[in-house]
Amino acid sequence: MRPLRAWFVAVGMLVPVTAATQAPRLLTVDDLFALKQVADPQISPDGRWVAYTVTTTDFKAEKSESRLWMAPLAGGEGVPLTAPGSSASAPRWSPDGRYISFLAARKSSAQGDSEPKAQVWTLDRRGGEARRLTHVGQGVEGYEWSPDGSKLVLVIRDTLPTWTSPKTARPWVITRLQFKRDEVGYLDTLRAHLYVFTPASDVLTQITSGNYDDAEPVWSPDGKSVAFVSNRSDNPDGNIDTNIWIAPADNADRGKTLRQVTTNPGPDDQPAWSPDGQWIAYVTVVEPDLIWYATEHLAMVPAQGGAPRILTRALDRTVARPRFSPDGRAIYFLVDDHGERDVARIAPSGNDLSRPIAGDLDVASFALGPGGALAALIATPARPGEIFRLELGQVKQVTFTNDSVLAGLRLAGVEKTRFSSRDGTPIEGFAYTPPGFVRGTPAPALLRIHGGPVAQYTWAFNFEAQLLAAHGYVVIHVNPRGSSGYGQDFCRAIWADWGNKDYDDVMAGVDDAVRRGYADPKRLGVGGWSYGGILTNYVIIKTDRFAAAISGASEVLYAANYGHDHYQYEWERELGLPWKNRALWERLSPFNYVERIVTPTLLMGGDKDWNVPVQNVEQLYQALRRLGRPTELVVYPGQSHRIRTPSYLKDRLERYVAWYDRYVKPAGAGGVGSER
């Protein structure tokens, strides 16, 4: 039985205000650039303020920019702290509450930077210019203040000697098993290590070293130690065995003196100290052979090392970002559950699980402060993420960043749906209905499939779905097997069996929309990005029910990806080595059934994508063209798996609408079709 929800009486406050001076209009593609993104709330040590970032997109300048803001936690107008011109991220309060620090790569006239790297900057919260605190040539990747504010722990990556020719790029010399990552490129042997920086003396001391990456540093309450996450096995690229380690903050031997806290063979990460320094809460995977299908549990271990306690095994839901309450009597964390992302809390004993913030919402992050203060970044179907505070069991809105845009919009209706798949498995989803939709008057409908596959559609604001609904489509979102939020067995049900049970589940979602009188069975479209594109490929080789398909950044001929994408470890775990288990690789590859596709299919990808390389949609395009099927290929220059350039983001959405309008909207565009 799921815990009771304490906040639901306040849900009315999550609905945007209505424009008083003009009639609301329908959402357009350009609204994507009018809406701002709020992120990373941080409560001040006195509990009075919350710092956060606001990201805006400048379409004409083809860039996004994040600025640091601050607002009274009790309510009041937010104010920007950093000026336009350079992005700021990772806001942190100095322990005395006087300064707010952040990461930024900005030129400094005093230092004469030509190509600035990210450094730690500070500014007085009462006003004034920001001051650069660190001067690290290769830049700073992460940082945290020591409890007394006298030091910072920095994450800094190694550097190579200067390349001999100023006119050519250094050649990549590859020796690692894991040799590339999307948005990073080829991986060299340069590793990220921890350093302790003392601002008063400008002394930088390296406290970890070796052929390992060290990440997620957190100070012990007494400031004498730093806990961090690292895979220090003999072959870090050949497993996912990260553990939690502790280094003395005055470690003069560069990390030779370390204490290993966890020994689980799977990932252990996201450490958080108890206020008394005796325990560390963290997130663990106890069945690492299931790779991304495994549930991520909340655990706790003595800081000196010892037997861990798994606190959420019975919950069977993936958790994230544990934090001890200031009194140490509870651990707060995020939990994915049935299309929600809630804030939960549990006693260190593993008892008294509750959900202070739960319901028809999605919590992206949260922060704790003194006296039980809690600030959470909450999104709903009608509102992108804003900061709310928890007060007497209710959530109250603190920031109103997007109200002026939302007030003028008519948005889609959104409801949660529940239905059974072909084998009787209960499945959930969401239905977006166009503004003004009348039940019983079926509309053209689009099945849009989420990526992952280990992810879930939630109650969060979904711009794409809202846009398609504004163009008259019912949008069908399904959380098929493989999705998170429904337990480990549900998630691993598609292990080495893609396009089978999950296909049945998404098709059951379409049938449910037809039964409800929402979807016109003769005007259906399908599409998705990443695994959403992969499952789209399975859909169109199994049925001709859809009048149009859009497959973005998908895979199609799986053996061709081994050694070309960045998933060598996951491929091997799930499907085996391609030269030893080739029959399974080929049986699962949609490319081998391409002659069955008759659906007009738009194919898209970024030419720098090393997550799901563009060669996949190129191969599918070539085959469909050779077969004479209606198809088109769109490749975005310089883009990785995530399309970031504003003009390309706009172009992609406009092409979505145009493709579906061309093939789905006309009366009788599709048929009820059949499965093959």
pLDDT digits over 423-478, tens only? Answer: 999 999 999 999 999 988 999 999 999 999 999 999 999 999 999 999 999 999 99
Look at residue 18 and tell me whether its pLDDT is greater than 70.
Answer: no
Going by C-alpha positions, the residue among 399, 404, 395 that lies closest to residue 385 is: 399
Contact 413, 433 (CB under 8 A): yes
Give the per-residue pLDDT at 666.
84
Going by C-alpha positions, the residue among 531, 367, 302, 292 that lies closest to residue 39 is: 367
Look at residue 393 and tell me whether its pLDDT is greater than 80.
Answer: yes
**Per residue in 323-373, pLDDT tens?**
999 999 999 999 999 999 999 999 999 999 999 999 999 999 999 999 899
Give the per-residue pLDDT at 3.
33
Give the per-residue pLDDT at 14.
41
Look at residue 84 and tell me whether its pLDDT is greater than 80.
Answer: yes
Q: What residues contact residue 175 under an 8 Å CB cut-off, 6+ apart?
A: 189
Query: What mean pLDDT do residues 102-107 have?
Result: 90
Going by C-alpha positions, the residue among 661, 431, 651 that lies closest to residue 552 is: 651
Give the Cα separation of 7 and 15 in Å (integer): 15
Chain centre distance of CA 1:
28
Query: Domain extents for the chain?
Result: 282-359, 411-663
Would you give the end-to-end CA distance of the chain in angstroms?
Answer: 40
- CATH classification code of 411-663: 3.40.50.1820
Predicted model pTM = 0.93
Query: What mean pLDDT do residues 381-395 have?
Result: 95
Sign of the C-alpha dihedral computed for residues 41, 42, 47 and 48 taken in this order: negative
**Per residue in 216-248, pLDDT tens?**
999 999 999 999 999 999 999 999 999 999 999
**Per residue in 477-534, pLDDT tens?**
999 999 999 999 999 999 999 999 999 999 999 999 999 999 999 999 999 999 999 9
Q: Element (H or E) spanning 103, and its range?
A: strand 99-104
